[in-house]
Structure 1
């Protein structure tokens, strides 16, 4: 009877460990790269909105120096968001090889945090620039793909 119980407990422990859904480094790396690919498209919208705001700034639609300063600051924020993406891409090591699986996983998890910060800055400046463009009756660029924005 004890052998049956011991065998049953061992089987339960084995099955529990086999069913863990702990991500591995390859899965996290793939998620990071997928987010990067999406952000490359979103970066096009960021730069398009920047160019449209530049045009608004040069137009005769600006009614006050305060409005001009607000748009100038927003253009600067759009540039900063784009630079954040460029910085992350230059520092990202696509072929990272740690000493073991845990080091690889830790690296890609830390990169996920960094690329999510880029994503958050893109979301923030895009919403702000869309709003300002609409207030000047300028159509913002196509909407960003929001499917990955569930974090």
Structure 2
């Protein structure tokens, strides 16, 4: 009988440890990470817009000189605009208070949003680097990011 009780206690311990070591994050954790990425991108978005404005100014001057850089700069400005629009679209359609019928639906929704916001983040990183490089060639220092945090009202 003592062996059976010990075995049952051990089985109970293993089950509780297995449940405690669940590796799959829950919908709340993913939602929080999505919102953290959003907050970071809001700051990066300021830099993206300022870089685009600088490039617009340079482009006007370059067109007057008939420079070969104008096509590349026009394309970069277009991509910066597209990245900004992609972020605006994501924000417009994101449901911060999403409530599915099941916990799995909640998890699936926030996972899908993570994929979308990561794609926006990838675009921002790539385009900010590209625009910083062009601005440096034209002797314009890249804009430094602000380090303040926006607070969400949930």
**Do these two structures clear the TM 0.5 threshold for a shared fold by scoring above it?**
yes
Partner of 1:141: 143
Partner of 2:79: 77
Partner of 1:97: 99
Partner of 1:148: none
> Structure 1 stretches of 5 or more lacking a match?
146-151
Partner of 1:110: 112
| Counterpart Cα distance in 2 of 1:47 and 1:67 | 20
Q: 2:24 aligns with which of 22, 25, 29?
A: 22
**Can you list the C-alpha shifts for 1:48-73, whole angstroms capped at 9, x where unaligned?**
00000011111259865430111111
**Can you list the C-alpha shifts for 1:31-59, whole angstroms capped at 9, x where unaligned?**
11111111111111000000000111112
Q: Is the 8 A contact 1:56 1:62 kept in 2?
A: no
TM-score, normalization: structure 1? 0.88
More displaced, 13-22 or 44-53? 13-22
| Counterpart Cα distance in 2 of 1:12 and 1:86 | 47
**Can you list the C-alpha shifts for 1:65-87, whole angstroms capped at 9, x where unaligned?**
43011111110010010001011
Q: What is the CA distance between 1:143 and its match in structure 2?
A: 4.5
TM-score, normalization: structure 2? 0.86
Partner of 1:50: 52
In the comparison of the two structures, how many residue pairs are matched? Answer: 145
